[in-house]
Structure 1
Amino acid sequence: MATTSLLRANIGVLKQKLDLITALQQKFGPKQASIRFAEVCPIVGASVGQHFRHSIDHMELVVNNIAENKENKEYNNKIVEIHYDIRVRGRDDESNMDAAEERILGVKRLLEEGIDALESSSSQEIVKVNNNSNNKEEEEEEEEEEEEGNNNKPVLACFMLSGDPAEGEYMLSSTIGRELGFAAHHTIHHLAMVKIITTHTLKLLPSNALPEDFGRAPSTVVHDKSAKHVNQINTK
């Protein structure tokens, strides 16, 4: 998958978070919405805000890694470590909806800047190709390799996989592309939990207040669309 597609996937789940914030604000007003945002679900044991904070922690670590190192000439020559469990719990964006929105928009902006940079680079490559038509295929292959190279940048994904402090972190070989995919996938699953909290457990919003695909895995969306299409054909 192209790096731009991975970046857009992360932007897509951030937009779902912003949709929920908007829905809560429209129903309760800014002050009450922030209170509801921080209300702990008695079954799950966490609030919408805590799910938002936790999931964006992971995404922000990957995105910041890319943003901070894009101008670093040594970046491509070393394996970067991403420590997912070294993060701040109980921060302001768990209970303050404005702070959460600001953080979401900040990460979304970095993702959009990444897309702009890639598209700008692609446009420059197209100009080079047009100016040297004899090497068109070669230039296109180099562009594809560069794009794939961004995905294949090796990293170490570091997690705690045991409740025993003596175990410490496990370092798993990965790539930037894989971690971008993980960040989006991880967020979707937390949004699924958020949807249950907001529409069923705490009953903050009716189900139709959120986008139809809110918190749903892309594979499920594709499957349901395919099944619906087959049913439509069978009923004709």
Structure 2
Amino acid sequence: MDILSGASIGMHFRHVIEFFDCVVDGVSNGMINYDLRKRNGVIEQDPLAASRRILELRNWIQEQHEDKALELQSDMCEGDTFLGSGVRSSYNRELIYAIEHAIHHMAIIKIAVINSFPDLQLEPNFGVAFSTVRYRESACAQ
């Protein structure tokens, strides 16, 4: 899609799902590296596969009841110099990051839907940060 610089809505959903998959893997092995995520073309091309994975992730998240220490690794380069880094993090912190990252991509998806599928109606708060929703609600109440 031109509005998405050549990307598709499916690509954005795949990207979001894979960040949550990184959190799942991180809880299993104690380390998260979003740069090493698996790029699953099936999720990108098949809305039912994406929907199934989202439901699996939701169920997995609901089963998590404790925070866990994690190491966040990132592959950063400056020119030709590799600057690998590791930072202490936690499951709760990375879950919040994945949620905020998802909302950011939902906002991008919303732009594409409005421009390319004007008859498709999304929820008014689709792609809107929780803090923005609360702010708007409090501003309307005044």
- What TM-score range do you get, normalising by the shorter chain? 0.7 to 0.9
Pair 43,168 (structure 1): closer, same or farther in 2 beyond 3 Å: farther
1:226 aligns with 2:138: yes
Give the gaps of 5 or more residues in structure 1. 1-40, 70-79, 119-149, 231-236
1:210 aligns with 2:122: yes
Conserved? CA contact 2:75–2:83, under 8 Å: yes
Q: Choose the corresponding residue for 2:89, options 174, 179, 192.
A: 174
Residue type of the alignment partner of 1:105: L
- 1:87 corresponds to which residue? 37
Q: Choose the corresponding residue for 2:103, options 182, 188, 191.
A: 188
- 1:57 corresponds to which residue? 18
C-alpha displacement of 1:160 = 2.9
Residue type of the alignment partner of 1:53: R
What is the number of equivalent residue pairs in this alignment?
A: 141
Instruction: Give the fraction of aligned pairs with identical amino acids, expressed as a percent.
Output: 33
- 2:59 corresponds to which residue? 109
Task: Describe how 1:131-146 pairs up with structure 2 within 5 A.
Answer: none
Q: CA RMSD in A?
A: 2.1
C-alpha displacement of 1:166 = 4.0
C-alpha displacement of 1:57 = 0.8
Pair 91,166 (structure 1): closer, same or farther in 2 beyond 3 Å: farther
* Between structures 1 and 2, the one with greater strand share: 2
- 2:73 corresponds to which residue? 158
Give the gaps of 5 or more residues in structure 2. none
Distance in 1, matches of 2:33 and 2:108, equals: 24
C-alpha displacement of 1:226 = 0.8
Report Cα offsets for 1:201-235 as digits up to 9, x if no partner.
x2x1446x1111101011111111111011xxxxx
TM score, norm. by length of structure 2? 0.86
3-state secondary structure, aligned to 2:74 = strand
Distance in 2, matches of 1:163 and 1:215, equals: 32
Pair 155,113 (structure 1): closer, same or farther in 2 beyond 3 Å: closer
Distance in 1, matches of 2:54 and 2:99, equals: 13
Pair 163,216 (structure 1): closer, same or farther in 2 beyond 3 Å: farther
TM score, norm. by length of structure 1? 0.54
Report Cα offsets for 1:34-58 as digits up to 9, x if no partner.
xxxxxxx213221111111111111
**Higher RCO, 1 vs 2 (CA within 8 Å, ≥6 residues apart):** 1
Report Cα offsets for 1:58-111 as digits up to 9, x if no partner.
112213433x47xxxxxxxxxx21111112235211111121112112211212
Distance in 2, matches of 1:212 and 1:42, equals: 24
